[in-house]
Chain A
């Protein structure tokens, strides 16, 4: 494994200005202009060849993070370094080259494909955009990509329209489209959550194989910790724009350090009628209250309003992501684990 991380993200921010029509000055309690802090000062690294999982509830910023990393959205602060160079320094040509090396697969198989394009057109498009190969070469690469994505025999799929395919097949086409340019990095944003549970397995297997055979680095975004547990080497837990825990998946899942991680694990579904949900003795109802309004975040630690361990310190200071134990980082003053699991 190469020492240089593929991505180095430092203090990444994505803030959206909020305009409300209540006639006031759109200022929050402290007199600052109101903003939605979708991604708030996030720092981490992604190593070559690993699958990093990003988990959290809806609205935690994980999808935004994925889009920021593939430059689908522009960051409002912070820095992303890809292979040692900051993306902010890219020329137009370098940017385009970046887009070839980093791809993304979205959640909705029904909306991810142009309804008027055949499978062949969809998967060929990246090759056209980057002017790769001639007609024959492109044909070859498209067939290979379709086959790698599990659509076999590739030839029978080429002329199909999305409407003729099942959800699982469409998702594979999206994956083939991402693979056809031989990318280094793939963001998968909830790729299986809209698929039948029985089909998810195949897609998960596919990602595993891709990591192995193509040395593909991946960011796998999901709210379902059981699929992240299966797939990811390291895992990042996000809450309202912040990373609250980050570390080897095994440690994070087996021995959660942050109270939110603990709570999240409580809600993971289990296909075992004799066990309730996995986790500690706490039940999900121990998370008190609703998720706070992301525009009006609580002072200090943003999880404190729902955390049963919160103290005064938690409303006064906002914990930063600090080293916890071997390879792990937690943003909490009172981690619920002893570490070194």
Chain B
């Protein structure tokens, strides 16, 4: 009566019970005395950066991630193709060439539109004059 999906269900149930049992047992037998340091999040010994994590970041990272996807998908399909290439022969070669060409069209588009170029912000080099003003303000306060 147990079908293939039934085994999957059994695995699911076992997994849930296993995790829940461990957590519940630990909650019962462990000592309970919290303090502020213990409750804080551990970040490699660094002090926590407080504030909202919803900060603005440069939109160019997003473009880079999208372009990365282009090559990532290519690799995912190229690897299994390379493994069985000898058995499939020229037909597979042409098919993969068409596939790579399609992705290259995407790359050409991105390139021509100038999305690969990383526009550096102009560096701001403080001159001596700026420093003098800052010092003046500092003393004024």
Chains A and B form a bound pair: no
